Amino acid sequence: MKKLLFVCFSLFLSFSYAQTEGGETAPLDELEEKLDGAYEKVTLKEREVIAYDHLREADIKWKKRVWRVLDFKEKLNLPFAHPKMGLVNIIHEAAKKGEIEVYAASDAGEVFKEPMNVQDVAQIGSSVDTVTRINFETGQEERVVTANTFNSETVKKLRIKEDWLFDIETSTMVVRIMGMSFMREKYSEENGEYVGDVPMYWVYYPDVRKILATNQVYNIKNDANTTSWEDIFEMRYFNSYIMKESNVFDRRIDAYATNLDLLYESDRIHNEIRDKESDFWEY
């Protein structure tokens, strides 16, 4: 009797193993996710955000707020334009899922007081096009409705708002990014001509540092690269130009300068900030 039970039990185990190996009856929760790579990448996933040093108002000797523009077409900024690992893909997906809060892209939106809901974020870049075409089988005209979704390739620039401060406690110039906004290309509905760039929304930089620190930046020369997006911003590894500085008229540079004069003015402001630290060290 014992021998018969042992044989039946062995046959049952063999049948169960065969069914599992065949992939027909194995539970979904027991299926292992395939490792798409020679090793598991955990460095970025486990990275922690390093807190900034505390700044006291009494220690701030000088401060200047500037707005910068990063053009993705510049060679150093090409990782920003990656179709899958680009910054806009990471931030926009997190915003649509409600993982981060974004703010309306109006002039008042720069103060981060008009949060957008996930439904409005999901509608950005979405549209419905209706075209008329001839059905060659019936010879009749047909109206075809096409739903368009957000296309990250329409985002060509990033606007950054940051503060430059001189801390007399450490005798160093400190820069803190406060917010950023992706700029989408806008085209005329009448003739389809390019009319300019419009901001999508504003992102409060301190709130997204964790997401930036745990997402990899594409490196064309090394797939094992572990540089994160936070590294890019904190190490200032990007090209940009200044479009505005804090001023009594609250105007942008393009309001009083054009063409090469605009770039010269941007460089002047940049050099003024750079030289400010050495000026304080002289006294």
Three-state SS sequence of the chain: CHHHHHHHHHHHHHHHHHHHHHCCCCCHHHCCCCCCCCCCCCCCCCCCCCCCCCCCHHHEEEEEEEEEEEECCCHHHHHHHCCCCCHHHHHHHHHHCCCCCEECCCHHHHHCCCECCHHHHHCCCCEEEEEEEECCCCCCEEEEEEEECCCHHHEEEEEEEEEEEEECCCCEEEEEEEEEEEEEEEECCCCCCEEEEEEEEEEEHHHHHHHHHCCECCCCCCCCCCCEHHHHHHCCCCCCEEEEECCCCCCCHHHCCCHHHHHHHHHHHHHHHHHHHHHHHCC
The tens-digit pLDDT sequence of the chain (283 residues) is 555 555 455 555 554 544 444 445 445 455 577 877 776 777 777 788 889 999 999 999 999 999 999 999 999 999 999 988 899 999 999 999 999 999 988 655 567 888 999 999 998 887 766 667 777 777 777 777 677 788 888 999 999 999 999 999 999 999 999 999 999 988 877 777 788 888 999 999 999 999 999 999 988 888 888 899 999 999 999 999 999 999 999 999 999 999 999 999 999 999 999 998 888 876 5
User: What predicted TM-score, i.e. pTM, was given to this entire model?
Assistant: 0.79
